[in-house]
C-alpha cells in the first residue's frame, strides 16, 4: 500500500493549524508533516510544534499499556481489566473510609485538544463524587473566564480580537507571535499583525520584556510586572476625563458606567506612572489613540491573568473596550459562533457559586467549580491539611510538579498519598509517584474535531481531523478509558454512559429545534464515541442541516469531505442575544470584581518601590509548558531554560553572560545560567517554566539529557492569589540573583 496524505489539525495549541500528514499505514511511519495550503483558516502556516504529532507517536518512552507499581517499587504491565478494577476498588475503599472529598482530581491542558476527552471526562469526574477539583485553569486564564462569567453570564463567552479588521491593536502581557494567539486562535498571526500595519493601523505591545511580538510592533512600552490594572485604570480615567466614552448600541443594555467613572477617578495617569513605569503623557496618548481609531481593540493574556490583580486587569480590558464602543463590533473584540451550538441564546445562568467547598488548609473557596491551584501542595500535606488532607489522587494529562507552585512540596505530598492513578502517556515528575498509570493512545491514532478553538477563533470555522493509524491492540482512546473507569465506579456498563450522553445532547440540542428526539437518535446511528455527539451538535447548530430542515447546512459527513477547515465567515455582532445574565444586561460594576479595587489602591506604593528583582516567565516557539521536552526534533538548538537579565542589573550584581548564578525567592532557590539581554526591563528577569526534568524513576530520556533545566515553580510562592478568581501569582515574583 503506497503512502497516503491525511488531513487534520495540530493539536498542541489553540491555533489548531491545518496540517497535511504523509504516512505509510502499513509500516506505521510518518513520512512528512506540513501545513495544509488548502486550509482557508491557517493557509499553510505551521510552526515547529506540529512535528510533535510524529514525535509522540514514535517516542520509545511513551507508555502504551497500563502499568502498576509493585511493592518493590518497580513497574509491571497489567491488563486493562485488572487496571480498571484496581483503580475502582482502591478509590472506592478510600472514599468509604475517609469520605468522598478524600479524593483530589487534577486536569491538565492537553485534555483540551482531544474531543473525546472534552466530551467524556465529565463521566469520570461525576463518578468520583469529590469537590476537590484542581486544574491548569487557575494557573493560566481563569481571571478571563471569571470576568466573562460575571459580565456575560457564561465563562466560555470570550471576547476575541477581530484582528483581520482591526486598525489599532493594543496587546498587554501576551506574545502572540510565539503563542500563535492564546484566547485568540489565529494561525499565522505575524502576517495578520503586519496586515494591521499595512492598512495604516498600529500595533502596540505593553510588556516587561521586548518580546518577539514587540520586535515587530510599532511601539513597545515596558511595564512593571503585575501593574497592568493601574495602567488600564488610567486609560479609563482619561476616557472619562476627556469625554471619550462612546458605548454605541451597548449603551441600551449596559449598567454601572457611572460607578466605573467614580472608581477610576483616583487612577489618573499621573497617579499610576510610578507604579507602572509608564509616563503619564504616554498613557494619555494611548487612550486618545484608542478612541480615535474606529476599529481598535485591547487584548491581554497570561501576563495580565497570572498576577496579583489578574481579575481587575482582565475586567479593565473589557471595560476599556466597552466604554469606547469597541465590543461586539467589526475590528474590535468580538464573539465567535461555534458550529456545535454552545453559544446560542439561552436562559440566564445561576449566580456564581463561591465557597460551596473550601480547602482544608487555608479555607480558600471553590469558585465556579475550581479550587485554586496554589492550594494543591498544602492540601496534600498532613501537617497543613491534617485529617482532611487529600489521600487519593486522580490526575489526567498533567504534570503539576513542574506546572504548579511549590513543586517540591507537591512531590512530598504525592509520596504520602495512599493511592494515585494517572491518565497519562509518560512517566514524568508527577506520574512516577502514581500507583497506576492508564495511558491513552496518541493523537494520530484517533479521529479528532477542533472543538475548543471554535470559541476562541478569529474567524468562524469548523475542522475535522482524520485518523492516520489504527491504535495498537492494547491501546485505548481517552473516551474509552473514561467510560470504562466510570462504569467500574458505578457498577454499570460503559455503553450505558455513552447512551446517556447521546440522549442528553439530543434532548438539549434537537429539542430546541422542535425535532423528535427518537427520530434524531435513529438517524445518528449507533457507532460509539465522540463523533456521534459531534455530528448531532453540528446538525443542530447554527450552520447545521437540522436533520433535513436545512438541506444545505452542515453535518459531519460534509465537514469530513472538506479535508480542511470549512470557513464559516467573519465574526458577527452577537449581543445582547448570547448574554446569559438576567435580562441580558451587562453590569460593568459587579461587586464580585469591584470589591477588589480598594486593595489595588492600597498597594500602589508597593508597586512604585519594589525591592529586589521581579521574575516573569516567557513562551517559547519550540515548547508548550512541560509537554514536548522529550521529543528530539524539538530539543535541538541552544539551551532554552536560561535566566534573562538586563545589563544594568547584571552589572550591579556581578553577573556574567553564560555563567551560572543563584536565584532565590521566599519559596526556594535555584542555580541557573545567565543571559544578559537588553530585551528585559531593568529590575525584571525572565525564566521559562515547564523545565526541571530530573530525578529517579523518569522515562524521559531526551528531556533529561538534552533539556532538563530547572523548575521555575520552585520559586513561585503558593500564598499570594488573585483574590476574586483564586488564580496563582506566577508573574512578578520577588527574587534576588547572585553570582556563584
Per-residue pLDDT, averaged over 87-108, amounts to 95
Strands across the sheet containing 18-24: 4-9, 18-24, 29-35
Per-residue pLDDT, averaged over 190-214, amounts to 97
pLDDT of residue 466: 98
pLDDT single digits (tens) 122-159: 999 999 999 999 998 999 899 999 999 999 999 999 99
C-alpha cell at 146: 471569571
pLDDT single digits (tens) 515-533: 999 999 999 999 999 999 9
Q: Distance from CA of residue 542 to its chain's centroid?
A: 26
The DSSP bridge pattern shows strands 4-9 and 18-24 to be antiparallel
- Domains of the chain, residue spans: 150-335+580-597, 611-739
> What is the rounded distance in angstroms from the CA atom of residue 247 to the CA atom of residue 323?
5
Kindly provide the residue ranges of all beta strands, DSSP E only, lying in 38-90, ordered along the sequence.
Answer: 67-69, 75-77
User: Quick count: other Cβ atoms within 10 Å of Cβ 605?
Assistant: 9
pLDDT single digits (tens) 592-618: 999 999 999 999 999 999 889 999 999
pLDDT single digits (tens) 12-47: 888 999 999 999 999 999 999 999 999 999 999 999
Q: Which residue has the higher pLDDT, 560 or 636?
A: 560
Nearest by Cα to 596 from 201, 285, 310, 254: 310
Nearest by Cα to 621 from 22, 45, 107: 45
Per-residue pLDDT, averaged over 676-705, amounts to 94
Domain 150-335+580-597 part of CATH 3.40.228.10 = yes
The answer, yes or no, to whether residue 325 has pLDDT greater than 90, is yes
Reduced DSSP (H G I as helix, E B as strand, rest coil) percent helix, strand, coil of the chain, to 5: 40, 20, 40
* Mean model confidence pLDDT for the chain: 95
Strands across the sheet containing 67-69: 75-77, 67-69, 436-438, 419-423, 392-396, 103-107, 133-135
Domains 150-335+580-597 and 611-739 share a fold: no
Q: What is the CATH number of domain 611-739?
A: 2.40.40.20
> What is the rounded distance in angstroms from the CA atom of residue 342 to the CA atom of residue 42?
23
Could you check whether the bond before residue 576 is cis, i.e. omega within 30 degrees of 0? yes
Kindly provide the residue ranges of all beta strands, DSSP E only, lying in 186-266, ordered along the sequence.
Answer: 202-206, 219-221, 254-255
DSSP-derived 3-state class of residue 464: strand
DSSP of 259-295: HHHHHHTT--HHHHHHHH---HHHHHHHHHHHHHSTT
C-alpha cell at 210: 521586548
The answer, yes or no, to whether residue 110 has pLDDT greater than 90, is no
> What is the rounded distance in angstroms from the CA atom of residue 360 to the CA atom of residue 128?
19
pLDDT single digits (tens) 561-600: 999 999 999 999 999 999 999 999 999 999 999 999 999 9
pLDDT of residue 610: 87
pLDDT of residue 620: 86
Q: Is 200 exposed, middle or buried (0-12, 13-18, 19+ CB in 10 A)?
A: exposed
pLDDT of residue 1: 66
The answer, yes or no, to whether residue 87 has pLDDT greater than 90, is yes
> What is the rounded distance in angstroms from the CA atom of residue 431 to the CA atom of residue 420?
9
pLDDT of residue 636: 87
Per-residue pLDDT, averaged over 150-175, amounts to 97
The answer, yes or no, to whether residue 693 has pLDDT greater than 90, is yes
**pTM for this prediction:** 0.96
> What is the rounded distance in angstroms from the CA atom of residue 157 to the CA atom of residue 584?
13
> What is the rounded distance in angstroms from the CA atom of residue 314 to the CA atom of residue 300?
7
Structure confidence at residue 382 as a pLDDT band (50, 70, 90): very high
Amino acid at each position: 500500500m503506497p503512502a497516503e496524505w491525511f488531513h487534520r489539525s495540530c493539536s498542541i495549541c489553540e491555533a489548531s493549524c491545518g496540517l497535511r500528514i504523509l504516512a505509510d499505514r502499513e509500516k506505521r511511519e510518518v513520512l512528512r508533516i506540513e501545513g495544509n495550503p488548502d486550509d482557508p483558516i491557517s493557509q499553510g502556516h505551521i510552526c515547529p510544534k506540529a512535528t510533535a504529532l510524529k514525535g509522540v507517536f514514535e517516542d520509545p518512552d511513551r507508555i502504551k499499556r497500563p502499568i502498576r507499581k509493585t511493592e518493590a517499587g518497580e513497574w509491571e504491565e497489567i491488563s486493562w481489566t485488572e487496571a480498571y478494577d484496581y483503580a475502582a476498588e482502591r478509590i472506592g475503599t478510600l472514599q468509604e473510609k475517609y469520605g468522598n472529598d478524600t479524593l483530589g482530581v487534577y486536569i491538565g491542558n492537553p485534555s483540551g485538544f482531544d474531543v473525546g476527552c472534552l466530551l467524556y471526562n465529565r463521566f469520570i469526574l461525576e463518578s468520583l463524587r469529590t469537590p476537590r477539583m484542581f486544574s491548569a485553569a487557575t494557573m493560566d486564564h481563569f481571571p478571563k473566564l471569571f470576568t466573562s462569567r460575571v459580565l456575560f453570564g457564561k465563562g466560555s463567552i470570550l471576547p476575541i480580537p477581530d484582528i483581520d479588521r482591526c486598525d489599532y491593536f493594543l496587546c498587554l502581557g501576551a506574545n502572540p507571535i510565539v503563542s500563535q494567539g492564546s484566547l485568540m486562535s489565529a494561525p499565522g498571526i505575524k502576517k495578520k499583525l503586519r496586515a494591521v500595519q499595512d492598512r495604516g493601523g498600529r500595533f502596540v505591545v505593553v510588556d516587561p520584556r521586548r518580546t518577539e511580538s514587540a520586535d515587530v510592533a510599532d511601539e513597545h512600552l515596558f511595564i512593571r510586572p503585575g501593574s497592568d490594572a493601574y495602567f488600564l485604570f488610567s486609560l479609563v480615567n482619561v476616557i472619562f476625563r476627556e469625554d471619550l466614552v462612546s458605548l454605541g448600541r451597548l449603551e441600551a443594555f449596559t449598567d454601572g458606567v457611572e460607578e466605573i467613572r467614580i472608581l477610576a477617578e483616583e487612577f489618573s495617569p499621573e497617579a499610576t506612572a510610578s507604579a507602572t513605569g509608564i509616563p503619564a503623557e504616554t498613557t494619555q496618548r494611548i487612550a486618545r489613540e484608542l478612541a480615535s481609531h474606529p476599529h481598535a481593540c485591547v487584548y491581554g493574556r497570561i501576563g495580565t491573568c497570572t498576577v496579583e490583580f489578574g481579575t481587575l486587569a482582565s475586567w479593565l480590558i473589557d471595560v476599556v473596550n466597552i466604554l469606547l464602543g469597541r465590543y461586539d463590533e467589526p475590528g474590535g473584540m468580538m464573539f465567535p459562533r461555534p458550529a456545535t451550538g454552545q453559544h446560542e441564546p439561552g436562559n440566564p445562568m445561576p449566580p456564581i457559586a463561591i465557597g460551596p467547598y473550601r480547602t482544608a488548609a487555608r479555607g480558600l473557596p471553590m469558585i465556579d467549580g475550581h479550587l485554586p491551584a496554589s492550594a494543591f501542595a498544602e492540601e496534600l500535606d498532613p501537617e497543613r491539611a491534617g485529617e482532611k488532607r487529600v489521600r487519593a489522587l486522580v490526575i489526567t494529562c498533567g504534570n503539576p510538579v513542574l506546572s504548579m507552585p511549590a513543586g517540591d512540596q507537591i512531590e512530598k505530598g504525592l509520596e504520602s498519598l495512599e493511592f494515585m492513578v494517572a491518565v497519562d502517556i509518560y512517566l514524568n515528575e508527577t506520574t512516577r509517584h502514581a500507583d497506576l498509570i492508564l495511558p491513552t493512545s496518541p493523537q494520530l491514532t484517533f479521529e479528532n474535531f477542533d472543538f475548543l478553538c471554535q470559541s476562541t477563533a478569529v474567524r468562524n470555522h469548523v475542522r475535522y481531523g482524520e485518523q492516520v493509524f489504527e491504535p495498537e491492540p492494547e491501546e485505548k482512546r481517552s473516551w474509552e478509558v473514561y467510560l470504562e473507569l466510570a462504569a467500574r465506579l458505578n457498577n454499570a456498563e460503559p455503553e450505558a454512559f455513552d447512551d446517556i450522553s447521546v440522549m442528553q445532547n439530543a434532548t438539549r440540542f434537537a429539542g430546541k429545534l422542535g425535532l423528535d428526539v427518537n427520530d434524531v437518535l435513529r438517524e445518528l446511528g449507533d457507532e460509539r464515541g465522540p463523533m456521534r455527539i459531534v455530528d448531532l451538535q453540528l446538525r443542530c447548530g447554527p450552520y447545521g442541516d437540522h436533520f433535513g430542515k436545512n438541506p444545505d447546512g452542515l453535518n459531519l459527513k460534509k465537514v469530513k469531505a472538506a479535508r480542511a477547515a470549512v470557513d464559516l465567515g467573519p465574526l458577527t455582532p452577537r449581543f445582547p442575544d448570547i448574554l446569559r445574565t438576567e435580562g441580558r444586561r451587562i453590569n460593568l460594576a459587579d461587586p464580585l470584581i469591584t470589591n477588589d479595587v480598594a486593595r489595588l489602591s492600597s498597594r500602589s506604593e508597593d508597586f512604585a518601590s519594589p525591592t529586589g528583582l521581579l521574575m516573569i516567565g516567557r513562551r517559547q516557539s519550540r515548547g508548550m509548558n512541560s509537554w514536548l521536552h522529550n521529543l528530539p526534533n524539538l530539543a535541538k538548538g541552544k539551551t532554552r531554560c536560561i535566566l534573562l537579565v538586563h545589563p544594568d542589573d547584571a552589572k550591579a550584581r556581578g553577573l556574567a553572560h553564560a555563567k551560572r548564578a543563584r536565584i532565590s525567592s521566599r519559596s526556594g532557590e535555584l542555580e541557573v545560567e545567565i543571559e544578559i539581554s537588553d530585551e528585559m526591563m531593568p529590575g525584571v528577569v525572565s525564566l521559562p517554566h515547564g523545565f526541571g526534568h530530573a530525578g529517579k524513576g523518569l522515562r524521559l530520556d531526551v528531556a533529561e539529557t538534552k533539556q532538563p533545566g530547572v523548575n521555575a515553580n520552585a520559586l513561585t510562592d503558593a500564598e499570594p492569589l488573585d483574590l476574586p478568581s483564586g488564580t496563582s501569582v506566577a508573574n512578578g515574583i520577588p527574587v534576588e540573583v547572585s553570582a556563584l
